[in-house]
Chains A and B, each alone.
Chain A
Amino acid sequence: NAGVTQTPKFRILKIGQSMTLQCTQDMNHNYMYWYRQDPGMGLKLIYYSVGAGITDKGEVPNGYNVSRSTTEDFPLRLELAAPSQTSVYFCASSYSAWGRGDTDTQYFGPGTRLTVL
């Protein structure tokens, strides 16, 4: 199993450009998440999905869009890149999210380091 894979690993964008960050998991997990991590900070939830076709906003959704057409894939779209979106983006997945046990374990991808100039 590859776990959670993310592409690209690095990207530099100009202000106003758009791009899609790809995320794929092969663990048949129901839940998928997108986080951003700014330097010296913890992770902040951007969007999450509880299954194919169902997505919801997290703490910092502005400037981003997501879709979940399959169980495996959860792409994150930046439409008009801004310098404030410079960050490291992590995708994660979990089998459940009941908040009570091991099946809630979130498995993270290696991250995409994005710079907007």
Chain B
Amino acid sequence: TQLLEQSPQFLSIQEGENLTVYCNSLSVFSSLQWYRQEPGEGPVLLVTVVTGGEVKKLKRLTFQFGDARKDSSLHITAAQPGDTGLYLCAGSDIQGAQKLVFGQGTRLTINP
């Protein structure tokens, strides 16, 4: 069974600080997705990374896929209260993305 471990599980920081969330596995994934989930809602896709070593930027968010495609990171620069939420990583294997494996999530709180 493929597992994805996210760290930290909880993170509370002040507005303006930078942070990094990690998503690690012993398994190789063909692609990895990052989602953000607000309370009472379903997850919303932020980005998909496909190539080992790939870096994608979404405004103040930077996503990186490890060279070996076993890990990924999400870096937020100058965090804002609107970034508060549950961040989930999910990996798909070479058989396709119909069986995503999710990490347990990182609950991020940005204090004004």
The residues of A with any CB-CB pair to B shorter than 8 Å are 4, 31, 33, 40-45, 48, 50, 56, 58-59, 90, 92, 94, 96-102, 104-106, 108-111
Contact = CB atoms under 8 A, between A and B. Distances in A.
Interface in B1-45: 1, 4, 6, 9, 30-31, 40-45
B43 A108 contact: yes
Interface residues of B, number: 30
A112 B45 CA distance: 19
Contacts of A108: 41-44
Interface in B93-112: 93-105
B64 interface: no
Interface of B: 1, 4, 6, 9, 30-31, 40-45, 48, 50, 88, 90, 92-105
Q: Report the 6 A-B pairs with minimum CB-CB distance, sorted nearest first.
A: A108-B42, A42-B102, A97-B98, A99-B97, A99-B92, A97-B97
Which of B43, B99, B100 has the most C-beta atoms of chain A within 10 angstroms of its own C-beta?
B100
A33 B90 CA distance: 14
Nearest to A104: B97
B99 A90 contact: no
A96 B1 CA distance: 23
Contacts of B43: 43, 90, 108
A41 B96 CA distance: 23
A110 B41 CA distance: 5
A110 B104 contact: no
Contact of B94 (A99, A102, A104, A110): A99
